[in-house]
């Protein structure tokens, strides 16, 4: 019986010794984007912002697939770390774009107007474009 009672704390000790490196590794990974975003910021800029997809969606001329494609790219944009600027500002600006694109996808009223306002090129570039 005595042996059994001692067995539990030593098992717990063993478990924490085994799990500790994993907990540490998780903590260190916290600053890194994870998983690797599907598109880079540059790809999103070229294809969505400059390439005309955004205009099509905010102008109300896009198909459902095109709206989803824009949302997919904006999710990637948000998952990336910008080359310049604070993460808090990035989360606000890129997050507002992704949220507005999501509203368009689900057909919320005013979504397109919100998308136009959220994707202000200059406002974001002045903070995050090197």
100 touches ligand HEC by CB under 6 A: no
Q: Do you know the residue count of the chain?
A: 130
Q: Which value, to the nearest 10 degrees, does the dihedral of the CA atoms of residues 101, 107, 112, 114 take? A: -70
41 touches ligand HEC by CB under 6 A: yes
75 touches ligand HEC by CB under 6 A: no
Nearer Cβ to ligand HEC (41/101): 41
* Segment contacting ligand HEC by CB under 6 A, of 9-17, 25-33, 99-107, 121-129: 121-129
* Cα gap 74→111, rounded to integer Å: 15
Environment class of 8 (CB within 10 Å of its CB; exposed 0-12, middle 13-18, buried 19+): exposed
128 touches ligand HEC by CB under 6 A: yes
Evaluate the CA torsion angle 38, 42, 48, 54 in order and state its sign.
positive
* Cα gap 48→8, rounded to integer Å: 57
93 touches ligand HEC by CB under 6 A: yes
6, 16, 121, 126: residue in contact with ligand HEC (rule CB under 6 A): 121
82 touches ligand HEC by CB under 6 A: yes
Contact residues for ligand HEC, defined by CB under 6 A: 41-42, 45-46, 49-50, 54, 82-83, 93-94, 97, 119-121, 124-125, 128-130
């Amino acid at each position: 019986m005595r042996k059994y009672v001692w067995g539990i704390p030593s098992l717990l000790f063993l478990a924490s010794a085994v799990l500790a490196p994993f907990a540490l590794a998780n903590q260190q990974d916290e600053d890194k984007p994870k998983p690797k975003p599907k598109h880079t910021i540059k790809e999103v800029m070229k294809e969505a912002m400059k390439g005309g997809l955004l205009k099509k969606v905010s102008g109300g001329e896009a198909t459902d697939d095109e709206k989803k494609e824009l949302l997919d790219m904006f999710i990637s944009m948000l998952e990336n770390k910008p080359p310049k600027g604070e993460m808090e500002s990035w989360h606000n600006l890129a997050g507002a774009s992704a949220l507005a694109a999501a509203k368009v996808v689900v057909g919320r009223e005013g979504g397109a107007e919100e998308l136009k306002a959220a994707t202000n090129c200059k406002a974001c570039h002045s903070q995050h474009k090197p």
